[in-house]
Structure 1
């Protein structure tokens, strides 16, 4: 019998799918994925039993920030832009309304906070508000606290914030405590 010239020999590719599958499994198992850090925030500790943890806060010590479903921003019932928010927060925190704060440089308005230790920032956002706008509010809020703490750091310690010891950093945090409440608008 003679061989036909029309017979074409080929490569058996039956096991190629198995090899591709094994490579896929190998790369899925050995690859590491970066985790998103998210927004740093501390959840308050639960109130111990038998202790009254409620606090009476004067209305003038609450700075209310509202973000509605149309991404319109209001600060204490006045429409405001995101660019103006940081200065408004700083003015509110640094007001020194009761004149008990030696390091505050505020205007001492009667309808604004007594001092940074009694000031509370209340953020209320609509569930349909843009996440980008919410993050913008958070950035301005953190920026306001950072700027106030930096100014105090230069005045009190004559150093940059990055060069502080743990004790000095704690003093700054106690001087301008981060007191924030968050709620969803209905």
Structure 2
């Protein structure tokens, strides 16, 4: 059999666009997108009426953390390692300097916080501080507060933190409130 010169021996691509469109829809519908969680933070609630929210914080109630461009960590103007930070924060927050905290186990140092409700952690970072160092400091902060709350949970409720009710968790969070301020270092 002879082929004529005028016949096209090609593939009919008329329905290729339809097939590509159906595949695109299929992959869009079946693909799952992961969500990055990032660092969880809570925006402060507005100041209630009749309460003075602009009151001065005493210097002894502020624990200052500074991260410079070389990723060096200064805690209250002293160069420390990341490994020391957690214990320093725990000692500062749990100090019980004014003897008003019945559950605190601190040393009542006159240069550390008066009680956990007044303790504030201030983080100042240089704009060239590495993200890894910043996250490591945040992890140590969270770890310090978790350990304080864990100890209080055993002392007050005789339970592990994982076994607490929502109300008991709220009591722990109110006992050791996580109060952090963040700012960039002045150049």
| TM-score range relative to shorter protein | 0.7 to 0.9
Alignment correspondent of 2:2? 3
Q: 1: CA distance between counterparts of 2:114 and 2:47?
A: 26
TM-score (norm 2): 0.87
CA RMSD of aligned residues (A): 2.3
Alignment correspondent of 1:44? 44
Q: Secondary structure at the match of 1:101?
A: coil
Give deviations 1:128-163, integer Å, cap 9, x for gaps. 211111111111001000001111111111111111
Matches within 5 A, 1:132-171: 132-171=132-171
CA separation of 1:107 and 1:48: change in aligned 2, threshold 3 A? closer
Q: 2: CA distance between counterparts of 1:112 and 1:50?
A: 29
Alignment correspondent of 1:91? 91
CA separation of 1:16 and 1:37: change in aligned 2, threshold 3 A? same
Alignment correspondent of 1:173? 173
CA separation of 1:48 and 1:147: change in aligned 2, threshold 3 A? closer
Alignment correspondent of 1:57? 57
Displacement after TM superposition at 1:26 (Å): 3.1
Task: List gaps (5 residues or longer) in structure 2.
Answer: none
Task: List gaps (5 residues or longer) in structure 1.
Answer: none
- Runs of 4+ deviating beyond 4 Å: 4-10, 48-51
